[in-house]
Amino acid sequence: MLFQPPLPTRYDEDTLDALRDRIRQAKAKLGRELVILGHHYQEDDIVAFADFTGDSLKLSQVAADQKDAHYVVFCGVHFMAESADILTDDSVKVILPDLSAGCSMADMADIDQLEDAWEVLNEHVSDRIIPITYVNSTAAVKAFCGRHGGACCTSSNAKLVLEWALTQGERVLFLPDQHLGRNTAYALGHALDEMVVYDPRKQDGDLSPEQMRDARFFLWKGHCSVHQLFTADDPDDLRRADPEYQILVHPECSWEVVQKADFVGSTEFIIKTVADAAPGTKWAIGTEVHLVNRLADRFKDKTVRSLGRVQCLCTTMYRIDVKHLAHTLDELSAGRVVNQISVDAETRRDALTALDRMLANTSAAPLSAR
């Protein structure tokens, strides 16, 4: 995690309204030089100032499309800002308002662990292995996949990327989210016994040579701390209480939760499903709670609630708040760039290869709809 220096004391002393005014003034001054991107999991106070909102795939595409902007302020987490820097022109400066806004899932796979895993797997497996990394990963991990014939994916296009990978090689190493890998491979018709979990914290991934030789999919032992909170009991309990609810979950949830859901898909798919649903329908959603609450407020003709019984929050995302956004824009207005995210040229080149393969395999199709 990067270190975020303390903000000047005036940002703690200002009222929320005063901070909002500072943001509006800075946006007006910077005009088309500035684009603010806001991930769906951000709090409403941040989303209100975003020029574009979306999930990882959409914001990656938006970042790549910025031709006039000099500054892209990414209200997300570190790996997203890295991807934006990789995809944008060298003249564009990508800024993360709070450098400590990381991703626990991305932190579960570092480049040293991946290089060790690659050596272990290729020692025991003679077939070609294609590495696929979820976009929730560091630029170094993305670059590794690009160098070794692999690609990135998002929850929107994981099926297409995995299908593509199996045309390139016989085996797949999927990281860092084991659940997205398992749910996607299963949705494509592959049996669970074709998949093994590689634990980077244990010798040889905690796998025997026989397990490595027999497996088709090597799933990295990582997960999303938000979606991990939903349990297989949640759908059962909800249906017993009110069977009218339809259950809609993100594929970062566990296989057991996904199997009990009515619909499974990316954040964009979740939003579209609720938007297109008939008035009066009831929806229990297995994803980050701020997005769920925003959907409930937006679609008052439907009943929308969280699937879980606990608050499923992306705490690192919330480190980007109004104070940090105001500080970032104040500095830009004064001609100073703070918190720039910059990926070195070699890493950028190889990561761009992986991201280009991701963007070539785009789809809004759900993982499943029952």
Q: Are residues 115 and 49 in the same domain?
A: no
pLDDT of residue 288: 86
Query: Looking at the domain assignment, is residue 2 inside a domain?
Result: no
Q: Are residues 219 and 292 in the same domain?
A: no
Q: Are residues 242 and 202 in the same domain?
A: no
pLDDT of residue 365: 46
Domain span at residue 363 reads 106-226+350-369
With bands split at pLDDT 50, 70 and 90, how would you rate the model's confidence at 313? low
CB 171 within 8 A of CB 195: no
With bands split at pLDDT 50, 70 and 90, how would you rate the model's confidence at 67? confident
pLDDT > 90 fraction of the chain, expressed in percent and rounded: 70
Query: Looking at the domain assignment, is residue 1 inside a domain?
Result: no
Q: How many domains does the chain have?
A: 3
pTM: 0.88
Is the pLDDT at 253 greater than 50? The verdict is yes
Provide the CATH number for the domain around residue 188: 3.40.50.10800
Q: Are residues 52 and 148 in the same domain?
A: no
Q: For residues 256-273, give the mean pLDDT.
A: 95
Is the pLDDT at 2 greater than 90? The verdict is no
pLDDT of residue 317: 65
Query: Looking at the domain assignment, is residue 221 inside a domain?
Result: yes
Helix axes 16-30, 322-333, angle to 10 degrees: 40
pLDDT of residue 311: 61
Instruction: Report the DSSP pairing between strands 217-220 and 171-175.
Output: parallel
Average per-residue pLDDT for the chain: 90
Q: Are residues 324 and 364 in the same domain?
A: no
Query: Looking at the domain assignment, is residue 130 inside a domain?
Result: yes
**Which residues are CB-neighbours of 43 under 8 A, at least 6 positions away?**
290, 318, 321
Is the pLDDT at 172 greater than 90? The verdict is yes
Helix axes 111-124, 139-147, angle to 10 degrees: 30
How far is residue 105's CA from residue 155's CA, in Å, rounded to a whole number?
A: 14
pLDDT of residue 216: 97
Distances in Å between the alpha carbon of 365 and those of 87, 262, 370?
24, 15, 13
